[in-house]
């Protein structure tokens, strides 16, 4: 690669401490230096043309002035003002100084919200075999969303057949898969979502036993009591807040709460959850926060099972794809407005 | 037993929904019917003269108008106005219609806050071998307080040598033992308590690595940061509320919180804990409520280890004993005022 490339990318103008707005973001551009092949080899850099990039709620926590999560783990490190924002995605190698990759390779890994990504040595990048699936599947159902659902449900929730499972944000990228894995496993599954359309989707296409629109419920505890007259054994929590409190109140003894995300609390608009600790003690409830990255040991198992389910039509991959770099800010904002159905991502470029 | 016995016992006059007061209780008396031996045998009842009875914070939850815990499990069933209040204790059998017991047997089990207990068939009652220890040890360190500490620490917290352990209410019946087990196991242990005297006891007699008076701290998060510059791996929670929030904020990745009790929340005077769910997710914290009764499978192991530690002087059994049935209400009230050091119990009668 000797020609000069212009890379346009999304960045934040300042820390974002509440709900994100379009004006918090800007499109910047940089010239990717046309390094001589020798220099690229020395640094073992790979330049990837981004095709699909993932849009995830957790990114908001990286954009805050201070978030406890920022110090906890490296891949949630703060986003720097004016710089690229890394994000999982799929792309094509257009130049490589790393012997593990060559021009034309299809890859998946930590790219960025931009047109190109310079992946440094040691960065998360793997050659991708699409296995006959659309490339977008390798950003969602066959990537971290899927692993989060699979590991969270099987490893964290430790389900038994016949148990009663509640999933919030059930039409989201992770929730929609949790519900489907739980049904295939033999659980009774109810999901909550924020529109009637989503509720219909859960009950129809995704085969949930039941579903409800939480926005139409004035008393979430009473609602869950209605949907779970025999109590909840497993709560897969994507939202936190009042819904979490209501789920704990309706939980059975030895119930498990997998805390995957607390999107209702990210923007700090809602009261944080204060689950009744007496319930937690007396009902011996386990509450566990987790991240998919801790479950790479079951990655192969997750992929082989999920590929099989997808091929047999037993799992539906819901996707919500926007087109073009410019749509990233609004795609991201939409996550906090409940607009998406399934895995949100942006297609940056055609794979030519 | 053909003579008529008068049994004096403590009961509640009405549900207690806040901090308990002396006036919530009264001493009542009943005549224990002088059943003919045949009738006692038919019902397999045992009459026990109570010697020591346990005074525990959880009893307050049984006295509320409604508590979620009441419906969750049978041994936390509501206390009935005017009736006896069951409680763990040690006593002597004075009459038995159950072939498993005979007059004169020393027993431990579910007795009551009274002078005598009529234990029905199926009631929790076992013959007691004091093994050379004071009878009071069989109400505290060698009974449920001990099992709660042992099971909570080893089974729920799953410690590793060298881990940093924080214990709240550390001079209480359970906390004082958790800290000592943790030290013997090879952990770094800091406790919190509510007086300087208790702090001195923890650091001196009980061998905690450090201890502090939470009442002298204006910022609990900052205090824990000072005592745990490298973070907390295990929090054994006896109090809930603000301390729990502060502990979660100072927790390391893969930290564990064993929720044993939330005494600061029982009286509803304090704000319930709303631990930061972002911390819980990103630091992959596990929060687990538990009850000792679920760990009877490790009872023998608990007893043999603890007996060995006591005989070798490696564990100190802290006890706070009041004398006479009349002292039960004030003994109970004291639990919520932070007055006790170690296991609170009332000696009802001499063992003659």
Rounded Cα–Cα distance for residues B85 and B60 (Å): 11
pLDDT of residue B9: 97
Record: contact A265-B288, CB cut-off 8 A? no
pLDDT of residue B61: 87
Q: Any idea what the Cα angle at residue A250 is, between residues B148 and A337, rounded to 5°?
A: 120
Nearest partner of B53 among B28, B84, B23, B90, judged by Cα: B90
Write out chain A residues lying below 8 Å of B261, CB-based. Answer: 281
Rounded Cα–Cα distance for residues A78 and A58 (Å): 11
Which residue out of A236, A280, A285, A296 would a mutagenesis test of the B interface target, given it has the greatest number of B Cβ atoms within 10 Å? A280
Query: CA torsion B78→B79→B85→B88, rounded to 10°?
Result: 20
pTM of the model: 0.92
Higher pLDDT, B27 or B338: B27
Rounded Cα–Cα distance for residues A135 and A54 (Å): 12
Which residue out of A251, A282, A292 would a mutagenesis test of the B interface target, given it has the greatest number of B Cβ atoms within 10 Å? A282
Tell me if ipTM is over 0.85.
yes
Rounded Cα–Cα distance for residues B57 and B261 (Å): 9
Who among A68, A276, A286 is closest to B68 (CB)? A276
B124 close contact with A: CB closer than 8 A: no
A61 close contact with B: CB closer than 8 A: yes
- Residue B120 is given by DSSP the state P
Write out chain A residues lying below 8 Å of B158, CB-based. Answer: none
Cα A266 → chain centroid: 14
Rounded Cα–Cα distance for residues B255 and B232 (Å): 7
Which of helix, strand or coil describes residue B338?
Answer: coil
Write out chain A residues lying below 8 Å of B256, CB-based. Answer: none
Question: Which helix (H) or strand (E) is B310 found in, with range?
Answer: helix B299-311
B270 close contact with A: CB closer than 8 A: no
Record: contact A287-B272, CB cut-off 8 A? no
Does the pLDDT value for residue B1 go beyond 50? Answer: no
B293 close contact with A: CB closer than 8 A: no
CA distances from A218 to A25, A276, A336 (A): 35, 19, 21
pLDDT digits (tens), chain A, 352 positions: 457 889 999 999 999 988 999 999 999 999 887 566 667 777 789 999 999 999 999 899 889 887 555 555 545 678 999 999 999 999 999 999 999 999 999 999 999 999 999 999 889 999 999 999 999 999 999 999 999 999 999 999 999 999 999 999 999 999 999 999 999 999 999 999 999 999 999 999 999 999 999 999 999 999 999 999 999 999 999 999 999 999 999 999 999 999 998 887 777 777 888 999 989 999 999 999 999 999 999 999 999 999 999 999 999 999 999 999 999 999 999 999 887 899 999 999 998 7
Task: Read off the pLDDT of residues B308-335 as tens digits, 9 standing for 90 and up.
Answer: 999 999 999 999 999 999 999 999 999 9
Beta bridge partners of A53: A89, A346
Write out chain B residues lying below 8 Å of A285, CB-based. Answer: 288-289
Task: Read off the pLDDT of residues B157-214 as tens digits, 9 standing for 90 and up.
Answer: 999 999 999 999 999 999 999 999 999 999 999 999 999 999 999 999 999 999 999 9
């Amino acid at each position: 690669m000797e020609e000069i490339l212009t890379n346009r990318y999304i960045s934040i103008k300042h820390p974002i401490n509440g709900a994100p707005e379009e004006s918090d973001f800007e499109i910047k551009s940089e010239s990717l230096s046309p390094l001589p092949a020798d220099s690229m080899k020395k640094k073992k850099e790979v330049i990837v043309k981004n095709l699909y990039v993932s849009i995830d709620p957790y990114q908001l926590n990286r954009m805050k002035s201070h978030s406890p999560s920022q110090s906890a783990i490296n891949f949630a490190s703060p986003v720097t003002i004016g710089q690229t924002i890394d994000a999982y995605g799929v792309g094509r190698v257009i130049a490589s100084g790393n012997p593990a990759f060559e021009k034309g390779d299809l890859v998946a890994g930590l790219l960025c919200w931009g047109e190109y990504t310079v992946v440094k040595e040691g960065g998360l990048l793997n050659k991708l075999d699409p296995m006959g699936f659309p490339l977008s599947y390798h950003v969602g159902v066959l990537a971290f969303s899927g692993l989060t659902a699979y590991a969270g449900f099987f490893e964290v929730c430790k389900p038994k057949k016949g148990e009663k499972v509640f999933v919030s944000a059930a039409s989201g990228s992770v929730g929609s898969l949790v519900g489907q894995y739980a049904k295939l496993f033999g659980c009774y599954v109810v999901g909550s979502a924020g529109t009637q359309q989503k509720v219909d989707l859960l009950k129809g296409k995704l085969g949930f036993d039941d579903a409800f629109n939480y926005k139409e419920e004035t008393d979430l505890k009473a609602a869950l009591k209605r949907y779970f007259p025999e109590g909840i054994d497993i709560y897969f929590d994507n939202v936190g807040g009042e819904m979490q409190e209501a789920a704990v109140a309706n939980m059975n003894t030895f119930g498990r709460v997998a805390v995957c995300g607390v999107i209702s609390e990210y923007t700090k608009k809602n009261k944080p959850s204060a689950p009744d600790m007496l319930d937690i003690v007396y009902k011996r409830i386990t509450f566990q926060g987790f991240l998919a990255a801790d479950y790479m040991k079951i990655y192969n198992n997750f992929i082989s099972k999920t590929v099989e389910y997808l091929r047999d039509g037993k799992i539906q991959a819901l996707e919500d794809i926007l087109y073009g770099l410019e749509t990233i800010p609004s795609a991201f904002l939409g996550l906090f407005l409940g607009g998406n159905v399934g895995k949100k991502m942006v297609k940056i470029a055609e794979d030519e």
